[in-house]
A and B are shown apart, each in its own frame.
Chain A
């Protein structure tokens, strides 16, 4: 059973930052227009993915965890 600590708030912000970054890359590289809903959909989707990943994604071993255990 996976008992790792989950970080949904961190996942939220990670997804939000990633979403904002990707949306802005899309705008400057003319993949999408600024004045459309598309960049905001990217932000929302990646923010949700961040939270979902934080809640249900695989946990990873932290550096030094085994030494202090």
Chain B
């Protein structure tokens, strides 16, 4: 994954910034989401319309983003970017899933391009994330700050996502813990769990 490429940084600005016009500070951008067949499926601007919780900026894991962006003060070249996906968790320390990286030293104050998403949103043929989520992107370089907050919706086949596979595994754990598995395995599973979790009465 080219996390620190100029294109990825621009993608982050345009996708996240689209989420909320009021929350784009220090930079701006426009983005078009393009599907596998080259059709434009969504548009957004930061600041501008779209990208709200009710109208998230839709992207496809195998699609592309056509973008243009501008940073208000100066280029963020050589700085750091951070992307935080809000998990909605009330548990301290688990409120966000964060990614960060370096911004390409050759990054300019403004630019445009097309960024394929497959390299960023797919691992081993599975979608990294699917669904609607709030994302906050921050870019910092010597004295220059850019912060955008917005909602995106990543679409793909649900069953081809890592979250789905994980959910199936958790469901199998549930079956094992609940002792409702096949009868021939029930006694053994219960005995093993009893031994491991003993002390409960």
A→B interface (CB under 8 Å): 5-10, 13-14, 17-18, 20-22, 24-25, 27-30, 33-40, 50, 62-64
Contacts and interface: CB of A to CB of B under 8 A. Distances in A.
Interface of B: 53, 85-90, 129-134, 151, 153, 158, 161, 163-164, 166-168, 170-171, 173-174, 177-179, 183, 186-187, 190, 193-194, 197, 199-201
Contact of A24 (B153, B164, B183, B187): B164
A62 B131 contact: no
Contacts of A39: 88
A37 B177 contact: no
Contact of B187 (A30, A37, A64): A64
Q: Chain A at the B interface: mostly helix, strand, loop or mixed?
A: helix
A38 B87 CA distance: 10
B185 to A, nearest CB: 9
Given A20-B167, A62-B187, A37 B90 contact: yes
A27 B163 contact: yes
Contacts of A18: 170-171, 174, 178
B164 A25 contact: yes
B53 A28 contact: no
Contacts of A64: 187
A50 B131 CA distance: 27
